[in-house]
Amino acid sequence: MDNPDRIAKLFSDCKDNGRAAFVGYVCACDPDFNTSLEISRSLIDNGVDLLELGVPFSDPLADGLTNQLAAQRALESGSNQSDVFRLVEEIRKHSDVPIVFYTYYNLIFSQGIEEYVTRSREVGVDGLLTLDLPPEEATELIEASRSHGMKNVFIIAPTTPEDRIPYIVEQASGFLYYVSREGVTGERKDLAGDLSERVETIRKYTELPVVVGFGISTPSQVRSVGQVADGVVVGSALVNCISGNLPEPASIPGVIGERAAELVGGLTAG
C-alpha cells in the first residue's frame, strides 16, 4: 500500500510558511463515536494541522483529570479499539491531515504488535506516541513500525538528562514531543521559563521537528511556543469544550471548532 509521509510534508510546509504546526489533542470516541467524528472534522476545518487522538484506556497514568474523564466517557459509551480504528477510517474520508495515536503500550501489546501497527497504517494512522514505552524497551515496536512506514514519537521531559537525548532521538521518527512541564496533562497559567533553552538543547542532537505540549491553553501561549518550537500541542483546553457542553452534545463540534480557531490564531497574531 502507499505510505505517504504526511508528517514530514506537514512540517516541511509549515517551515516554508514560516510558522509552527498546530497539533490538537482529543480522546477518540469522546463522548461517543458520532460526536467524536464531528469533533475531529471541526478541529481540522478550523486549522488543526495534526490530529492527536487519544486511545481510550482504563488506566491513563500520564493524563490529568480532564483527559482521564475523557477516556472514561469514551469507554462508558461502549467504544473499543475497533471503534477507534473505524473513527480514523471515517476521518480519512474527510481529510488527509496527519493523525497520531496517543496511546499506552498495553493497548498495543495485547493485540499483537505487528497486527496493531498493520491495522493502524491500513486505516490511515501516521504515528504512535506510546506514553509508557521508553525507547530502550521499544525495539519490537520500532522494527514493526519501520517496516510499515509508521512513525514512533518519543517524549523528552524537563527531567531527561542531556546525555540521554541522543539515544532518544536516534530511535524516534516523525517528530519529538517535548513535555514542557513535569507531572500530568492539564491547562496551566504560565509557560516554563527555560522553554527556549530546552528546545535548543534537543535541536543540537537532531533535525527532527520538536513539538511542545502540556499546559498550553491560550492564543498568547500558542504564539510564544510557536516562536521557539516546530509545533504546538493543545489538549486539555480543547477537551474542556467537550466536558463543558455535555448536556448539549450537538453543540460540541461547533464550540470546539471556535476554540481551535482562536488558539490557532495565536500562530499568526501580530
- Residues annotated as catalytic are 52, 63
Can you tell me the distance from the alpha carbon of 96 to that of 237, in angstroms, rounded to the nearest whole number?
Answer: 24
Collapse the DSSP code of 53 into the 3-class scheme (helix H, G, I; strand E, B; otherwise coil) and give the result: strand
Closest CA to 120 of 84, 153, 71: 84
Q: Cβ neighbours of residue 227 under 8 Å, at least 6 residues apart?
A: 20
- Give the separation between CA 103 and CA 106, rounded to whole angstroms: 9
User: How far is residue 71's CA from residue 75's CA, in Å, rounded to a whole number?
Assistant: 6
CB atoms within 10 A of CB 20: 26
Contact present, 21 and 10 (Cβ < 8 Å): yes
